[in-house]
Amino acid sequence: MVKISCAAINGIKAEKEEPERVHSSPPQHVGVSRRSSLTGLCCLLIALIISTCSLVYASIYIYRYYIIPQVDESQFRCNVYYEDALKAPQHSREELRENVDINLQNNYERISITAGKSNPRARPATIIHDFNKGLTAYHDITLDKCYISELNSSVVLPPRNLWKLLINVKLRTGNEASLPQTYMVQEEMVVSEQVMNTHVFGVFIHRLCEGKPTYLIRRRLTRR
């Protein structure tokens, strides 16, 4: 009688099945790697959004407060009407025409004065108020001479304040601004000394007074 045993075959089958169970289970580090990649991508997107928003707000700020004032709304034409109390009462109001250039970035004002039709005796002049230097320069075009004094901040509006005033007036009246509530300030100035080098007064005053006889003047009396 022949006896057949299958134990060896079952053993071999068992050995073959074990490796299959090992290979069928996925590695644990694959899921962790995917989660790390998603977290890094989210952080990158958030940083990109914040950077883009910051750039947009910075561009709007620069455009609103620097580019617009300096390009579109930095130059004004003004008509100033006043009464001279020192002249005879029969004289009517007199007029000055001013071209005002306001430089907000460099903090100075340039005013070119011409006489109106009702005031032919007025002398044309160019005035620079440099608030960084604290100086005012007058160029008398008729005499072709320059006079430099300390800036009188009690009567001269800073560039930003003057710009806001003229913008508001322009919105109400049109391209040419007729300034309301104007009054005349009369100052008596005394020449103190002649200046040979205008570079020390800054680039804007130097450009105005270069090559012209230039004098320092000081304020002796101010009347309103």
Is the pLDDT score of 71 beyond 50? no
For residues 148 and 135, the answer to whether their CB atoms sit within 8 Å is yes
pLDDT of residue 12: 47
pLDDT of residue 42: 84
CA–CA distance, 93 with 26 (Å, rounded to integer): 97
Is the pLDDT score of 25 beyond 90? no
Which of 26-35, 80-89, 118-127, 141-150 shows the lowest mean pLDDT across its residues? 26-35
Backbone angles phi, psi at 194, to 5 degrees: -90, 145
N- to C-terminal Cα distance for the chain? Answer: 143
- pLDDT category, 220, cuts 50, 70, 90? confident
- pLDDT category, 170, cuts 50, 70, 90? confident
Higher-confidence residue of 82 and 23: namely 82
191-216 pLDDT per residue, tens: 999 999 999 999 999 999 999 999 99
Helix residue ranges per DSSP H, the chain: 7-24, 29-62, 68-71, 159-173, 203-209
CA–CA distance, 178 with 97 (Å, rounded to integer): 10
- Average the pLDDT over 146-168 and give the result: 90
- Average the pLDDT over 169-188 and give the result: 65
- Closest to 146 (Cα-Cα) out of 104, 91, 188, 205: 205
- Average the pLDDT over 145-159 and give the result: 92
CA–CA distance, 138 with 66 (Å, rounded to integer): 27
100-129 pLDDT per residue, tens: 999 999 999 999 988 666 566 678 999 999
- pLDDT category, 171, cuts 50, 70, 90? confident
pLDDT of residue 76: 85
pLDDT of residue 169: 78
Per-residue CA distances from 182 to 67, 126, 130, 163, 164 (Å): 30, 20, 22, 16, 16
For residues 134 and 148, the answer to whether their CB atoms sit within 8 Å is no
Higher-confidence residue of 132 and 8: namely 132
CA–CA distance, 120 with 88 (Å, rounded to integer): 16
pLDDT of residue 58: 82
CB neighbourhood size of 215 (10 A): 17
- pLDDT category, 222, cuts 50, 70, 90? low
Higher-confidence residue of 98 and 9: namely 98
Per-residue CA distances from 197 to 125, 140, 211, 214, 216 (Å): 21, 18, 10, 9, 11
- Closest to 128 (Cα-Cα) out of 113, 101, 110, 140: 110
DSSP 61-105: HHIIIIIHHHHTSSEEEEEEEE--TTS-TT---EEEEEEEEEETT
